Amino acid sequence: MSERKSESTCDCTNSDFDRREFLRESGALLAFAAAGVAPSEVAAQSDQPEGDLEALLEDAPRNWGRWGDDDELGAFNFLGSEEALAGMEAVTRDEATGAETFTLQLSMTGEVANDPIFPTRTVARRTNTQDEQSYEEGEAEPSAGGLKFTDDRFVNQLYTQGTTHVDAPGHAWYGDQIYNGFDASTTAATKEFDEPLESCGGDPVDETRGMGRADISHVADHGIVGRGVLLDVGRAMGGENDRLEPNACISLSDLRRTAYQQDVVLRKRDVPLVRTGSAARVRDDDPEHEWAPLEEPGLCYSEDLVEWVHEMEFPVVGGDTLSVEKNVQTIDGEEYLVPLHGAFHRNLGVPFAEVLWLEDLAESCASDGVYDFLFAGAPLNIERATGAPINPVVVKASMGEESN
């Protein structure tokens, strides 16, 4: 069956997922929805995590004002020429016999079965607006000289965080302030447009809401270039297929032990990438490994972990899961929803890079023992957005036989 639709067709619905039905239950379910949790999985936990983030993080470190009262870039300020040079030095080490490149992005259109996406953030669907069939049916005419073109567009709601992406510093918060102390009302800044454009639903759009502060465009302008380090926790601590089991909790000790086993030293202002093996599990198509977003392994909160990230001046923390951290965590007998999003995003300006594909990179690192590399990328420059897709490129020294 052809994927092509007429240009007037714009399907904003998902037949397999009733969004309004999903969100109608309660305020508690809305919180889980924000973390990508399906209703069937909520029952495995309490109806609503009641842990108070404001109380938990009252004495946590902050970077507010560190780069000025108007700063919107957050910890990405840590990345400069020295950090870029450190990444290049990791590639050009004396004993290197060559270099390998890896892209860490999953498909934006989810063309591989079971791509790990948030239930509330569908992947994109695209269709051709012009192709050979258009010319054959007389819908289009060749250009002068006979040149033809094919073109396409998205035909459903495209969520900027529905695939491999980087969060904006202002993406997550608690209380009435986001990163750097900006008022939470700035997340709903209104922008009016002189020329309305047709929306996916057909109604013209002449006004939108967006982030007036700490949005992803500042990260896009700055770029992310530095020394990356893979922390392959799945291989160091995992079981079957070198993957962490669902619900596994990764502590600061686990991260340090993984680095020790890999014989790699984490330095200040590195870009750490945490592999659990979860993204590969999603792609297995194995009914015994049904994907459950709430049960993904991930980092677990501790005061020591937050202090460590603060002292190490990491600009961003990446991972191969939807949230990088464990979605629901029990701390001192209370359940919390993604507490590290509050500690890192809001307080430190350290966002997460989520849904990274780390499998191929991990295989190479395990084969030659090189776990540091040049990490480079920039999210799509989307004004006022809470995050944006990114295709990070890793350039890693090769320690195998010399290649031509």
Distance CA 87, CA 128 (A): 40
- Total residues belonging to the chain: 404
Residue 41 CB-half CA count within 13 A: 19
pTM: predicted TM-score of the whole model, two decimal places? 0.88
User: What is the residue-level pLDDT of the chain in tens, covering all 404 positions?
Assistant: 333 333 334 445 443 444 333 333 333 344 444 444 444 444 344 457 788 999 999 999 999 999 999 999 999 999 999 999 999 999 999 999 999 999 999 988 887 766 667 777 888 889 999 999 999 999 999 998 999 999 999 888 889 998 899 999 999 999 999 999 999 999 999 999 998 888 776 788 989 999 999 999 999 999 999 999 999 999 999 877 899 998 999 999 999 999 999 999 999 999 999 999 998 888 776 666 666 777 899 999 999 999 999 999 999 999 999 999 999 999 999 999 999 999 999 999 999 999 999 999 999 999 999 999 999 999 999 999 999 999 999 999 998 765 44
- Tell me how far apart the alpha carbons of residues 15 and 99 are, in angstroms, rounded to a whole number: 45
SS3 assignment for the chain: CCCCCCCCCCCCCCCCCCHHHHHCCCHHHHHHHHCCCCHHHHCCCCCCCCCCHHHHCCCCCCCCECCECCCCCHHHHHCCHHHHHHHHHHHCCCCCCEEEEEECCCCCCCCCCCCCCCCCCCCCCEEEEECHHHHHCCCCCCCHHHCCCCEEEECCCCCCCCCCEEECCCCCCECCECHHHCEHHHHHEEEEEEEEEECCCCCEEEEEEECCCCCCHHHHHHCEEEEEEEEEHHHHHCCHHHCCCCCCEECHHHHHHHHHHHCCCCCCCCEEEEECCHHHHHCCCCHHHCCCHHHCCEECCCHHHHHHHHHHCCCCEEECCCCCECCEEEECCEEEECHHHHHHHHHHCCCEEECCCCHHHHHHHHHHCCCEEEEEECCCCCCCCCEEECCCEEEEEECCCCCC
Distance CA 219, CA 113 (A): 31
Identify whether the C-beta of residue 306 lies closer than 8 Å to the C-beta of residue 343. Answer: yes
Q: How far is CA 216 from CA 85, 314, 349, 350, 398, in A?
A: 24, 18, 12, 12, 33
